[in-house]
């Protein structure tokens, strides 16, 4: 956190007490009760402290160093460092206490310490102060000394009534003033970077926004993420879950700030800003199977290294599940195309409408390339296989989403039940709600899931927005049977209560209460309970190692076949930012393999 970030980090000196008559106490013969808010020696709750270092950054006297402690248990969102106070430098200004992101740091009323060893005046406070005794708390932060902006800037969105009958993007984005104000909330502690699968330079690109230097921000973003328009909209923003500001307030809007930065830089300037005009070419060819986030990421970084890169895509356009699985109200396709077009401009070649294993074999690709990267994703839906799923009005969410994103008409009825509690279930439920509103003038969509709402895997904001749009929820229910009438039409979904989703070993092993039965009227059922991949294009010709359902790779995404690398959802996911990370890692691994 730079000290010039806010004026509060360089406070003015108060002169109001200069002319007050001092009080003198002849210590130790005389004593006087310490003021309740006296600034004595520090205490620090080591379990509450996350080691963000904000206290050290704000100290103008360099009286606080962050030191590593071996006995501190850390988890995601924490470091193993804690503040060490040098009382030879400390001026007891209290800024360290005021700015503490978790509220762990306070002063005691104790102010007396005598020792001939000067080294002992440098101390790592815990729940006891430098005298190693518990003492009354003195000064601590209150509402009058708060230095952090704890409330995030609300981003403008379309109201539910405005958005429910169209696929127009919901989130409008930050203005310049809003973005700079939100960026000013970041204390640049770098805690968030640990939670980002791609380890992005988050504080650096937020600093660029604060400084109104979007070119610098773009450069920082592109170091680890070549799909920032996509991630600025649909990233799962795990970084925000451990934002240090979030301990006492609302986390910084990291995702929306990334979106602001890339939305406001013309793609025509990318080549100049990112310095990609002159790429030294290498006479090696790499083939990439699939143009989802992992494939595009690998292509981007391999091309920057100078390789000849060709992506083979079974669809007519690039993007994978980003284009054929995510509704446009979340990810407008012109923004997806902005990311893809830049990768094309680097010189990456695309071969569309070509399915590996059908239109061209993996063996043929192997012969014409020096290395291959498989990133074909999870495009196949999964079924509950309960009685009634063979009915013609039972559909897989993935199948319908693909038709919707292509602009094709889908089967639609007035009373739909969606089975599933993840983001795909939210996507199809909200898409069907929009189509129902257009066709019938009202929404009648019900989502039921094994998980209760507190543990549903969907993002909470997706659940809340779906509910705003008229989607109803019946969580904690297990599908038992799709009831079909004598005319072959669906009439109800029969469910029982899901007592638990996981067993004691935390394995997926749901149990049910068959005495608790509920039926929901419907004429169409959509299953959104997970996805699977089709790796037959590999398995039909080569023996390859697996870990469970996923292809086994090393840290550089290399499979048991040295020339074949793999990434994305068929290895780890599903998550766009994780796919991007695996593509980047694969590019590094392929480069090492070919060199």
Domain boundary among 531, 554, 574: 531
CA 326 to CA 305: how far, in whole Å?
Answer: 31
| 402 and 503 in a common domain | yes
In the prediction, which pLDDT does 350 show? 98
**Helix/strand/coil for 267:** helix
Digitized pLDDT (tens) for each residue of the chain, 595 residues in all: 444 554 444 444 455 556 667 777 676 677 677 888 999 999 999 999 999 999 999 999 999 999 999 888 888 999 999 999 999 999 999 999 999 999 999 999 998 899 999 899 999 999 988 998 888 999 999 888 999 999 999 999 999 999 999 999 999 999 999 999 999 999 999 999 999 999 999 999 999 999 999 999 999 999 999 999 999 999 999 999 999 999 999 999 999 999 999 999 999 999 899 987 778 899 999 999 999 999 999 999 999 999 999 999 999 999 999 999 999 999 999 999 999 999 999 999 999 999 999 999 999 999 999 999 999 999 999 999 999 999 999 999 999 999 999 999 999 999 999 999 999 999 999 999 999 999 999 999 999 999 999 999 999 999 999 999 999 999 999 999 999 999 999 999 999 999 999 998 889 999 999 999 999 999 999 999 999 999 999 999 999 999 999 999 999 999 999 999 999 999 997 789 999 999 999 999 999 999 8
| 293 and 247 in a common domain | no
CATH number, domain with residue 232: 1.10.1060.10
Assess contact for 103 and 65: CB atoms under 8 A.
Answer: no
CATH number, domain with residue 483: 3.50.50.60
What is the domain count for the chain? 4
| 287 and 209 in a common domain | no
| 555 and 490 in a common domain | no
Residue 593 is encoded by which pair of tokens? 């393999």
Q: Are strands 477-484 and 64-68 parallel, antiparallel or unpaired?
A: unpaired
In the prediction, which pLDDT does 74 show? 84
| 1 and 88 in a common domain | yes
| 526 and 385 in a common domain | yes
In the prediction, which pLDDT does 15 show? 52
In the chain, how many H helices and how many E strands?
20, 24
| 289 and 371 in a common domain | yes
Cis peptide leading into 574, omega within 30 of 0? Answer: yes
**Helix/strand/coil for 105:** strand
Domain boundary among 118, 147, 176: 147
User: Which structural domain, as residue segments, surrounds residue 309?
Assistant: 279-379+533-594
Residue 473 is encoded by which pair of tokens? 């929820």
Domain boundary among 147, 170, 188: 147
CA 10 to CA 514: how far, in whole Å?
Answer: 65
| 582 and 525 in a common domain | no
Smallest CA-to-CA distance from 217 within 169, 179, 178 is with 179
| 46 and 166 in a common domain | no
Cβ count within 10 A of residue 31: 10
Please list the alpha-helical segments (H only) found in 306-440. Answer: 321-324, 333-345, 362-368, 397-405, 423-440
| 234 and 346 in a common domain | no
In the prediction, which pLDDT does 19 show? 65
Q: Look at the block and give the residue holding tokens 């049977």.
A: 481
DSSP for 530-553?
A: -EE---HHHHTT----EETTEE--
| Longest Cα–Cα distance in the chain | 100
In the prediction, which pLDDT does 3 show? 45
In the prediction, which pLDDT does 73 show? 80
| 17 and 38 in a common domain | yes
CA 262 to CA 336: how far, in whole Å?
Answer: 12
| 264 and 143 in a common domain | no
């Amino acid at each position: 956190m730079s000290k010039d970030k806010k004026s509060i980090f360089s406070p003015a000196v108060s002169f109001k007490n200069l002319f007050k008559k001092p009080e003198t106490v002849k210590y130790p013969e005389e004593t006087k009760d310490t003021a309740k808010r006296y600034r004595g020696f520090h205490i620090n709750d080591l379990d509450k402290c996350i080691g963000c270092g904000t206290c050290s950054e704000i100290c103008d006297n360099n009286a606080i160093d962050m030191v590593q402690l071996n006995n501190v248990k850390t988890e995601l969102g924490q470091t193993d460092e804690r503040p060490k106070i040098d009382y030879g430098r400390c001026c007891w200004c209290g800024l360290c206490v005021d700015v503490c992101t978790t509220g762990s740091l306070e002063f005691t009323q104790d102010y007396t310490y005598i020792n001939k060893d000067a080294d002992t005046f440098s101390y790592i406070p815990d729940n006891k102060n430098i005298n190693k005794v518990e003492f009354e708390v003195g000064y601590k932060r209150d509402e009058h000394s708060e230095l952090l902006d704890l409330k995030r800037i609300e981003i403008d969105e379309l109201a539910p009534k405005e958005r429910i009958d169209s696929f127009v993007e919901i989130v409008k984005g930050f203005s310049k003033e809003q973005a700079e104000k939100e960026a000013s909330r970041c204390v640049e502690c770098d805690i968030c970077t640990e939670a980002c699968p791609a380890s992005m330079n988050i504080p650096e690109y937020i600093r660029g926004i604060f400084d109104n230097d979007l070119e610098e921000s773009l450069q920082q973003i592109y170091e680890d993420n070549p799909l920032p328009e996509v991630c600025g909209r649909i990233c799962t923003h795990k970084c925000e879950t451990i934002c240090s500001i979030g301990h006492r307030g609302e986390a910084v809007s990291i995702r929306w700030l990334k979106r602001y930065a890339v939305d406001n830089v013309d793609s025509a300037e990318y080549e100049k800003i990112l310095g990609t005009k002159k790429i030294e070419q290498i006479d090696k060819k790499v083939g990439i199977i699939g143009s989802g986030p992992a494939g595009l990421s690998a292509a981007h970084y391999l091309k920057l290294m100078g390789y000849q890169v060709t992506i083979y895509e079974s669809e007519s356009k690039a993007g994978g599940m980003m284009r054929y699985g995510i509704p446009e109200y979340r990810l407008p396709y012109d923004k997806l195309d902005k990311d893809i077009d830049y990768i094309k401009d680097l010189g990456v070649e695309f071969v569309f409408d070509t399915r590996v294993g059908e239109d061209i074999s993996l063996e043929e690709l192997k012969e014409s390339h020096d290395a291959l990267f498989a990133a074909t994703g999870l495009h196949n839906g999964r079924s509950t296989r309960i009685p009634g799923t063979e009915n013609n009005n039972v559909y897989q969410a993935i199948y319908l989403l693909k038709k919707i994103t292509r602009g094709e008409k889908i089967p639609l009825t007035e009373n739909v039940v969606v089975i599933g509690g993840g983001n795909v279930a939210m996507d199809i439920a909200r898409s069907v709600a929009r189509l129902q509103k257009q066709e019938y003038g009202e929404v009648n969509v019900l989502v039921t899931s094994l998980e209760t709402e507190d543990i549903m895997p969907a993002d909470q904001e997706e659940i809340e927005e779906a509910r705003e749009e008229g989607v109803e929820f019946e969580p904690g229910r297990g599908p038992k049977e799709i009831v079909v009438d004598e005319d072959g039409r669906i009439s109800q979904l029969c469910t029982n209560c899901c007592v638990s989703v996981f067993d004691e070993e935390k394995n997926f092993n749901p149990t049910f209460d068959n005495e608790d039965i509920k039926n929901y009227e419907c004429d169409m059922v959509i299953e959104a309970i997970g996805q699977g991949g089709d790796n037959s294009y590999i398995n039909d010709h080569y023996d390859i190692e697996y870990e469970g359902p996923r292809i086994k790779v090393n840290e550089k995404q290399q499979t048991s076949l040295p020339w074949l690398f793999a990434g994305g959802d068929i290895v780890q996911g599903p998550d766009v930012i994780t796919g991007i990370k695996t593509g980047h890692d694969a590019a590094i691994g392929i480069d090492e393999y070919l060199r």
